[in-house]
Amino acid sequence: MTSQPSSAVNIASAEPRLDWMGSPAGPASARRWQRGYARRLVVTDLTVIAGVLTVVHLLALPEAPVVTTAVLGVLWIAALSVSRSRDWRHIGADVTEYRRVLVATLTSFGLLFTALVALDLAVTREHLIWSLPIGTIAVLMARWLWRRMLHAQWRRGKWTHRAVVVGNPRKVRHVVSAVRGSKTVTGTTVTAIHEVQGDHTGADVETRERVVAQIVDVVTRSAADLVLLTETDLFSAQGVRELGWALDALDVNLVVVPSITETAGSRITSNMVAGVPLLHVAYPRLTGTARLTKRTFDVVFSALALLMLAPLLITIALWVRLDSPGPVLFRQERVGINHSRFSMLKFRSMVVDAEEHLSLLEERSEGNGVLFKMRRDPRVTRIGAVLRRLSLDELPQFYNVLRGEMSVVGPRPPLPREVEAYDDHTHRRLLVKPGITGLWQVAGRSDLSWEESVRLDLYYVENWTLLGDIQIVLRTARAVFGGAGAY
């Protein structure tokens, strides 16, 4: 079988640039900032843990043996190291770092108190009462502060991984788009693209060596420290091993990007069968316990929100009534779970006959082709403009949540005419209840394209978790006060 030659394209920077320390960027530079960051985390962990344990010992355990506190501190630090809570692959991204900190903390306390009970020694419960919660919060807060600093460096283009993306053109473009869109979350900058043309699975030794040499040449010229291989099917198993050996000699990391996209890590498990890695993908199921958990969260959160926001709701109602003639609340038919219809509530932000004027304004729409949006809609009232910018007009929807028609977090509630234009895949947005907020809310709101809005909604439907809902609620507050995409 004859293989077409590979080609390197779109080299972002063939000449090594200087990193924040004034050294050439590349593998050595990446290792330098990774090791430096890890050392800072070690010093911070030591300082926080020593400080918390010392204060607790002096205030709550003045007569207890100092050795118990010292052993707890040593176990804690050791557990944080053994759990690899400072691994470069997890710092600054997702919740893995925080989860490992929690596991290490609970493990160290568990080991200490198991040993004290087994040896029939006096158990200092004060450590459980004070050191465990205070220390855990303090360590997590310190990690969070370091993460904010790291993200700030990434936004400045510092302390980043320089990556070469390797694969066929279609998958390369997809990966490059994803990486560049989340550079401040992953800390990765694409410096070069190496497109591999043809199938090299049956290539001879000479062709295989030539392909590996081309990739190594691109990596060297772009001073990269990371290679993202988007498709292992282009190479034989031996070819992937040889590429790994060549990159290892350069101290460059190899990351294989699977074809599974838009799938949360919680749905993926892996195991090895005869040396072959298998990825198991669980189908999304928002039923049983998961549905009960989400409904419980919705009821508790919306009830507390309505109770705590009652003074604000009354004030807004008075403003709306005094600002323009008409009812305080605006009711509009929307499509809910499984194509059910319901009346969605909002504080009225437009004149009473706004719907009658819609046809006259549709050609001036600034929306995404499906949704009608105008930055300066003449139908919006004075108080309505303020309510829309801060999303306060949507607060009555907590009542829809209590009634079971909506959820606190979910896809955007569509109009019936929008649903009529859905394709087969887009109808999957209706497998869950629509939400007051969602990924579309925290990712740009009205500034998003229709395709991007659908993609975010489908991702939410496929990958729901309670922790994800809580994170979206927290991010919503920042998005709302920022006002981006709200009009």
Q: Are residues 148 and 204 in the same domain?
A: no
State residue 9's pLDDT score.
43
Q: Are residues 411 and 423 in the same domain?
A: yes
Q: Answer whether residue 313 is part of any domain.
A: yes
The full DSSP string for 192-209 is EEEE--S-BTT--HHHHH
Name residues of the chain where pLDDT drops below 70.
Answer: 1-30, 94, 120-126, 181-186, 196-204, 231-235, 259-285, 353-376, 444-448, 479-487
Distance CA 369, CA 347 (A): 25
Q: Answer whether residue 269 is part of any domain.
A: no
Each residue of 143-196: pLDDT tens digit? 999 988 988 888 887 887 888 888 877 778 877 777 776 655 567 777 777 776
Q: Are residues 323 and 454 in the same domain?
A: yes
The values of phi and psi at residue 436, to 5°, are -65, -35
Q: Are residues 197 and 342 in the same domain?
A: no
Q: Are residues 15 and 33 in the same domain?
A: no
Q: Are residues 12 and 109 in the same domain?
A: no
Pairing of strands 407-409, 341-347: unpaired
Q: Answer whether residue 61 is part of any domain.
A: yes
**What are the residues facing 184 on neighbouring strands?**
none
Q: Answer whether residue 1 is part of any domain.
A: no
Q: Which long-range contacts (CB under 8 A, 24 or more apart) does 25-32 make?
A: 25/162, 25/223, 26/162, 26/223, 26/224, 26/225, 27/224, 27/225, 27/250, 27/251, 27/252, 28/251, 29/225, 30/161, 30/162, 30/225, 30/226, 31/225, 31/251
Distance CA 305, CA 405 (A): 17
Q: Are residues 102 and 198 in the same domain?
A: no
Q: Assign residue 206 the CATH number of its domain.
A: 3.40.50.11060
State residue 26's pLDDT score.
60
- CB distance 370 to 421 below 8 Å: yes
Give the number of domains in the chain: 3
Q: Are residues 326 and 255 in the same domain?
A: no
Q: Answer whether residue 275 is part of any domain.
A: no
Location of structure tokens 């549709």: 362
Q: Are residues 249 and 376 in the same domain?
A: no
The full DSSP string for 281-299 is EPPP---THHHHHHHHHHH
Q: Answer whether residue 145 is part of any domain.
A: yes
pTM: 0.62
Q: Are residues 369 and 440 in the same domain?
A: yes
State residue 456's pLDDT score.
84
Q: Domain range spanning residue 36?
A: 28-155
The values of phi and psi at residue 21, to 5°, are -95, 0
Q: Answer whether residue 279 is part of any domain.
A: no
Cβ contacts of 325 within 8 Å, gap of 6 or more = 352
Q: Are residues 58 and 102 in the same domain?
A: yes
- CB distance 456 to 448 below 8 Å: yes
- Look at residues 219, 242, 259 and tell me which one is the last residue of a structural domain: 259
- Look at residues 259, 279, 299 and tell me which one is the last residue of a structural domain: 259
Q: Are residues 170 and 246 in the same domain?
A: yes
State residue 47's pLDDT score.
95
State residue 285's pLDDT score.
65
State residue 284's pLDDT score.
63
Pairing of strands 226-229, 341-347: unpaired
State residue 474's pLDDT score.
86
Location of structure tokens 């344990």: 53
Q: Answer whether residue 306 is part of any domain.
A: yes
- Look at residues 203, 237, 259 and tell me which one is the last residue of a structural domain: 259
